[in-house]
Amino acid sequence: MLGSLKYAVEHLDSLKLIVVLGHSGCGALTAAVDLFLNPGNYLALAAKPSLRALLDRMLLVVQASANKLLATFGPELVRTACYRPALIEASIVTNAALAAYSIQQEIGTNAQSALQAVYGVYLLETRRVWTPSLGHADGTGLSPVPVDLAGFEELGDAMVKSSRITALLAAEPETD
């Protein structure tokens, strides 16, 4: 897929920006989080290779997001009702950033092209784009792609300190 993206980009000289926009409550990442939390459900995907391939990639993002949440808030977090929604939203941010990073790596940058990839998360409930960053954990708008592992670590630090994630972690569990 990215190879065809590079071909398309090479033939669109006026293209200056590629936007990767995740959205709150993403169903695909919710499914990946649920699979992460209940690995036994993976067996049901045995006969669905296309779905399995999609979720396999997302499981890496979920694992990284879970590691950051647990390193910040402690391992007891997994026993709380607020862990799942916080993990979903953290995974959405991480996934958007990683997708934009992958695109930026594929298209590259050079003197002839100022083409850049950026990312953000569209919050359905507020209709705003959110991208946490150090110093602006509740930042709005699009963000440039992290350029290396340190950039992703900074993103993780900003994400877990954001009011969005901390509010999810402080939320009272819903009762039926």
Query: pLDDT tens, 2-22?
Result: 555 555 556 666 788 899 999
- Residues 90, 93, 95: CA angle, nearest 5 degrees: 105
As a dihedral over the C-alpha atoms of residue 96, residue 27, residue 89, residue 33, rounded to 10 degrees, the angle is -100
Q: Which tokens hold the place of 161? A: 């300190």
- Tokens 């300190």 correspond to 161
The pLDDT, as a whole number, for residue 176 is 44
Report how far residue 6's alpha carbon sits from residue 82's, in angstroms, rounded to the nearest whole number: 40
The H-assigned helical ranges of 17-82 are 27-37, 49-73
Tens digits of residue pLDDT in 49-94: 888 888 889 999 999 999 999 999 999 999 999 999 999 999 999 9
Q: Indicate whether 12 belongs to any domain.
A: no
- Total domain count for the chain? 1
CA-closest candidate to residue 65, choices 21, 19, 30 = 30
Report how far residue 38's alpha carbon sits from residue 93's, in angstroms, rounded to the nearest whole number: 22
Backbone angles phi, psi at 30, to 5 degrees: -60, -45
Q: Indicate whether 148 belongs to any domain.
A: yes
Q: Indicate whether 91 belongs to any domain.
A: yes
Q: Indicate whether 176 belongs to any domain.
A: no
Q: Indicate whether 149 belongs to any domain.
A: yes
Report how far residue 48's alpha carbon sits from residue 78's, in angstroms, rounded to the nearest whole number: 29
As a dihedral over the C-alpha atoms of residue 61, residue 69, residue 20, residue 29, rounded to 10 degrees, the angle is 60
Range of the domain at 85: 18-170
Bridge pairing between strands 143-144 and 17-23: unpaired
| Whole-prediction pTM | 0.85
Residue 31 or residue 45, greater confidence: 31
Bridge pairing between strands 128-130 and 143-144: unpaired
Q: 10 Å Cβ neighbour count for 13?
A: 10
